[in-house]
């Protein structure tokens, strides 16, 4: 695959075995990038990479582990020939009200989303700054903009990713490295479709475009930020939410 916005470039996507992460990896491939799909479940990551075919590899990675994330960046360089794009997408949910949420539930979500993203930004930027180029894209959420009941942990983590994105962008801009974020809204994934139908319908009705988004629509924003079309953008946060919360 030689044509496309990202032809000849190498990319890493965390949490890429399914859902939005997989669609991001798929669209990066369609635009010519070689992609390393990372996931806590290495077998599923390998299967997802096989489905994409061509220059796609799968690997196990715990985004909360410093050594794993440093090794992930190194693996991209060793096996794909470089590291041009790094997408911090991995995440989990442990929803509960303030009254019922445990400290473990809070820590687990914040650790995966926020520490995981920080480790990814640090590992990727260490490689990219030496090459004086690169694009890091962090996946936040509109939950981090407005807050969702029952998601104090998730909303806090996703808001933190925005602050992290902006701070990191200022640190590495002079090295030619860009750091941006995407905030998806209501996206049709197995996680959201597991909601009670009436809850999903209520949230969908609140979207000005009157529909939930598709994972590929989030992926499109990521590809844009990863490409030279966004060459003068850093520290930006793109909302992909059908106009919700604008």
Active site residues: 154
Tokens (6 digits) for 144: 């981090």
The closest of 238, 201, 244, 233 to 220, measured between CA atoms, is 238
Pair 204, 230: CB distance under 8 Å: no
Q: What is the DSSP string of 209-242?
A: TSS-B-HHHHHHHHHHHHSGGGTT--S-EEEEST
Q: Return the DSSP state at 151.
A: -
The closest of 198, 182, 156, 174 to 27, measured between CA atoms, is 182
């Amino acid at each position: 695959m030689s044509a496309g916005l990202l032809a000849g470039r190498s990319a890493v996507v965390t949490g890429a075995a399914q859902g939005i992460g997989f669609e991001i990896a798929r669209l990066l491939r369609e635009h010519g990038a070689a992609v390393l799909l990372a996931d806590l479940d290495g077998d599923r990551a390998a299967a997802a990479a096989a489905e994409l075919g061509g220059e796609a590899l799968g690997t196990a990675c715990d985004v909360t582990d410093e050594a794993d994330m440093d090794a992930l960046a190194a693996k991209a360089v060793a096996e794909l020939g470089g590291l041009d794009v790094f997408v911090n997408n991995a995440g989990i949910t442990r929803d509960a009200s303030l009254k019922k949420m445990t400290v473990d539930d809070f820590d687990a979500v914040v650790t995966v989303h926020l520490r995981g993203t920080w480790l990814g930004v640090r590992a990727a930027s260490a490689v990219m700054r030496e090459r004086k180029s690169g694009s890091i894209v962090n996946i936040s959420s509109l939950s981090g903009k407005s807050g969702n009941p029952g998601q104090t942990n998730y909303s806090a983590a996703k808001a933190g990713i925005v602050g992290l994105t902006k701070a990191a962008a200022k640190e590495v801009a002079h090295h030619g490295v860009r750091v941006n974020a995407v905030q998806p809204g209501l996206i049709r994934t197995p996680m959201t479709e597991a909601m009670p139908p009436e809850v999903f319908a209520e949230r969908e009705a609140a979207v000005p475009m009157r529909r939930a988004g598709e994972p590929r629509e989030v992926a499109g924003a990521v590809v844009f930020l990863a490409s030279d079309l966004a060459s003068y953008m850093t520290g930006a946060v793109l909302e992909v939410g059908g106009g919700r919360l604008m």
